[in-house]
């Protein structure tokens, strides 16, 4: 069973940047596909970006060219670099893990993932 702990959230002004981290423990991290999801109050959870266990990525249209997902298997860590942040990016961001390789069409679907972190809050002010 993998445990996931996110960090790096905070409050920034519009146009600013943040880098989220998600540290995994209790498993062979490199085997897992990983995703970042967000949920704003009153809205459904949205798959923001995902990376499978061979490095293929999948981004939501709303964050393409602004966000970059990456992983460091030596550190058991997943990252989300967020640039040019907008107020509509305000949400609780959570990472999730799936043991194996996910197909491209499933990478940003929350039902694909079995393990979730507690989340880190990102607030962007205008």
73: helix, coil or strand?
A: helix
pLDDT recorded at residue 28:
86
pLDDT recorded at residue 26:
81
Structure tokens at 37: 């999801």
Sequence-separated (6 or more) residues with CB below 8 Å from residue 9: 18, 20, 93, 120, 121, 122
Contact 1, 114 (CB under 8 A): no
Stated length of the chain: 126
| pLDDT tens-place values along the chain, 126 residues long | 899 999 999 999 999 999 999 999 988 888 999 999 999 999 999 999 999 999 999 999 999 999 999 999 999 999 999 999 999 999 999 999 999 999 999 999 999 999 999 999 999 999
pLDDT recorded at residue 36:
98
């Amino acid at each position: 069973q993998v445990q996931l702990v996110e960090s790096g959230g905070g409050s920034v002004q519009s146009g600013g940047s943040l880098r989220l981290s998600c540290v995994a423990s209790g498993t062979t991290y490199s085997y897992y596909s990983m995703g970042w999801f967000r949920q704003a109050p009153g809205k459904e959870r949205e798959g923001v970006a995902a990376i499978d266990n061979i490095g293929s990525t999948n981004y939501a249209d709303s964050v393409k060219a602004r966000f970059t997902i990456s992983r460091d298997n030596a550190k058991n860590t997943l990252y989300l670099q967020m640039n040019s942040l907008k107020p509509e990016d305000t949400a609780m961001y959570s990472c999730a893990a799936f043991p194996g390789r996910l197909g491209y069409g499933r990478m940003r679907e929350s039902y694909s993932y079995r393990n979730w972190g507690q989340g880190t809050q990102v607030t962007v002010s205008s």
